[in-house]
Amino acid sequence: MSVIYENNNIRIEVEQSEIPWLKIFTQHPYKEMSEVPGLIKFEIYDLLDTIEKEMLAYYNPKKINIASFGNYMPHVHWHIMARFEEDSYFPEPMWGTKQRENNLNLPEFEVFCERVIKAIP
């Protein structure tokens, strides 16, 4: 697990994958979004917006996927993924059935992470 940003309320982690994929976690292990205090919810939504915009600008993906399940890990967290027609699973979710071998040639992920950190309000 690689944390690229954190404060008292949240942390942003990298999900190792063929696609650009970040996760936002609450620092406190809330089980449901309805349990999260309002100011932290706003912080999460601002981060979702920031990460999505940076993914769009830097990678120009076919689609951004944002998901919050937590079935295996009942701790509020969000997945933000840049999706491409050439990735192994598109148009399936990344947890779905593999469709092909990926044929991606993407810009440096570390540069993207630096852009995200700089863009956080």
What is the rounded average pLDDT of the residues 85-113? 96
Q: How many Å apart are CA 87 and CA 84, to the nearest integer?
A: 5
Distances (CA, A) of 42 to 37, 48, 85, 105: 9, 10, 32, 34
Question: And the tokens for 102?
Answer: 């990926």
pLDDT of residue 93: 94
pLDDT of residue 70: 79
Judge residue 112's burial from the number of C-beta atoms within 10 Å of its C-beta, 0-12 exposed, 13-18 middle, 19 or more buried.
buried
**pLDDT surpasses 80 at 111:** yes
pLDDT of residue 1: 58
Question: 10 Å Cβ neighbour count for 66?
Answer: 12
Distances (CA, A) of 5 to 20, 24, 29, 99, 104: 16, 9, 17, 33, 26
Sketch the domain layout of the chain as residue ranges.
2-119
Distances (CA, A) of 59 to 2, 10, 30, 73, 90: 21, 25, 32, 29, 16
User: pLDDT tens digit string along 28-54?
Assistant: 999 999 999 999 999 999 999 999 999
What is the rounded average pLDDT of the residues 92-121? 95
CATH of domain 2-119: 3.30.428.10
Please compute Rg for the chain using Cα positions: 14
Question: And the tokens for 65?
Answer: 């996927």
**pLDDT surpasses 80 at 73:** no
